[in-house]
């Protein structure tokens, strides 16, 4: 079955042909990292955007612009598109996916992607190992790709019952070759966790920026915004289509987080209204300590 060495050393194997569907920040960075570490042989780039493909070619992210028919040559196929595009991409890939090939994704939500994969791939679902690298930036496109993006980062894999251990092992070695630490989770746990620590922070950052659009003296307020404002709102500049898809595909978990946050916001409002400075300070102290504990905790 395997075309790869049995050695489990992440540096001891090579992917002859890697196909990346979506050559922006996430997909492009993966291609650059694997090329830098000598893991990927030829890198094929696929995208609905010919401008992005040409840019990725110029930057050395990919070696060749490809069509879906070229997937027949690929040993590993990485889908790095917004969630809304995954179904169409899987449908385009499956006629050309070779029996030995590994298919994976980098989407920030997993349950909906897995449901789509089951529907489209059918009996070939065992070739799909879902993944999610915990890395990113507010920039997008091939020009944002970084060869070092995944170093000392975590990657979550949510393997399926149908996956062969060899496929999961290959994907683990792929990410370890990029300098990442790989963790295994079930998809439902993944989506609950990342609704809380990834999706909700972006939601709140975007919400706050949106709230300033029609605020009184918005221009004047923004003129005096400093580093704290910059840090808090940085992620609001992320790609709108990608985040729209993340919120939508993880809707139930997001709604739970919003409900929980609304309760906390109301409690904080009551503390402020009551002018109970002692209780308000205790609330702030608990929040500050939690932040320091997180920052100082081992990864």
DSSP per-residue letters across 81-133: S-HHHHHHHHHHHGGG--TT-EEEE--S--HHHHHHHHHHHGGGGGGEE-EEE
Of 247, 10, 232, give the one whose Cα is nearest residue 107: 247
Model's pTM, two decimal places?
A: 0.87
The pLDDT of residue 25 is 94
The Cα–Cα gap between 180 and 133 comes to 8
Share of the chain above pLDDT 90, in %: 89
Cβ distance 149 to 197 under 8 Å? no
pLDDT tens across 231-242, in order? Answer: 999 999 988 988
Let me know whether 202 and 170 are in one domain: no
* 170 shares a domain with 220: no
Q: Are 153 and 133 in contact (CB under 8 A)?
A: yes
Residue 12 pLDDT > 70, yes or no?
no
Q: Are residues 20 and 137 in the same domain?
A: yes
In-domain check, residue 151: yes
What pLDDT is attached to residue 137? 75
Question: Looking at the domain assignment, is residue 1 inside a domain?
Answer: no
For residue 188, give both structure tokens.
């439902």
Model confidence band, residue 258 (pLDDT cutoffs 50, 70, 90): very high
- pLDDT tens-digit profile of 82-98? 999 999 999 999 999 99
Specify whether 84 is located in the same domain as 180. yes
pLDDT for 191-216, tens place per residue? 999 999 999 999 999 999 999 998 99
High-pLDDT (> 70) share of the chain, %: 95
The boundaries of the domain holding residue 157 are 15-186
Which range has the worst mean pLDDT, 2-11, 13-22, 29-38, 41-50? 2-11
In a domain, 218, yes or no: yes
Q: Total domain count for the chain?
A: 2
Q: What is the CATH number of the domain that holds 128?
A: 3.40.50.720
Q: With cut-offs at 50, 70 and 90, classify the pLDDT of residue 80.
A: very high
> Which CATH number characterizes residue 220's domain?
1.10.3660.10
pLDDT of 138 reads 72
pLDDT of residue 5: 41
Q: What would the mean pLDDT of 290-297 be, rounded to a whole number?
A: 92
Q: Are 35 and 42 in contact (CB under 8 A)?
A: no
* Inside any domain, residue 2: no
């Amino acid at each position: 079955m395997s075309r790869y060495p049995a050695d489990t050393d992440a540096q001891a194997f090579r992917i002859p042909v890697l196909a990346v569907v979506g050559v922006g920040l996430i997909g492009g960075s993966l291609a650059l990292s694997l090329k830098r570490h000598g893991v990927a042989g030829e890198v094929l780039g696929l995208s609905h955007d010919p401008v992005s493909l040409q840019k990725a070619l110029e930057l050395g992210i990919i070696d060749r612009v490809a069509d879906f028919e070229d997937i027949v040559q690929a040993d590993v196929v990485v889908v790095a598109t917004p969630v809304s595009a995954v179904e169409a991409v899987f449908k385009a890939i499956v006629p050309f996916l070779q029996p030995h090939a590994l298919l994976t994704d980098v989407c920030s939500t997993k349950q909906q992607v897995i449901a789509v994969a089951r529907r489209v791939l059918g009996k070939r679902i065992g070739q799909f190992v879902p993944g999610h690298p915990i890395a990113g930036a507010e920039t997008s496109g091939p020009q944002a790709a970084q060869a070092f993006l995944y170093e000392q980062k975590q990657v979550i894999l949510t393997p399926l019952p149908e996956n062969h251990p060899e496929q999961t092992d290959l994907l683990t070695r792929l990410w370890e070759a990029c300098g990442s630490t790989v963790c295994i989770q079930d998809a439902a746990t993944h989506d609950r966790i990342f609704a809380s620590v990834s999706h909700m922070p972006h939601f709140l950052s975007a919400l706050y920026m949106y709230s300033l659009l029609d605020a009184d003296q918005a221009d004047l307020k923004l003129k005096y915004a400093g580093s704290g404002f910059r840090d808090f709102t940085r992620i609001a500049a992320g790609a709108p289509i990608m985040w729209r898809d993340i919120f939508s595909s993880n809707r139930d978990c997001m709604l739970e987080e919003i409900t929980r946050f609304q309760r906390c916001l109301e409690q904080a409002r009551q503390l402020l209204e009551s002018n109970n400075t002692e209780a308000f300070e205790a609330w702030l102290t608990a929040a500050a300590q939690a932040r320091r504990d997180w920052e100082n905790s081992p990864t």
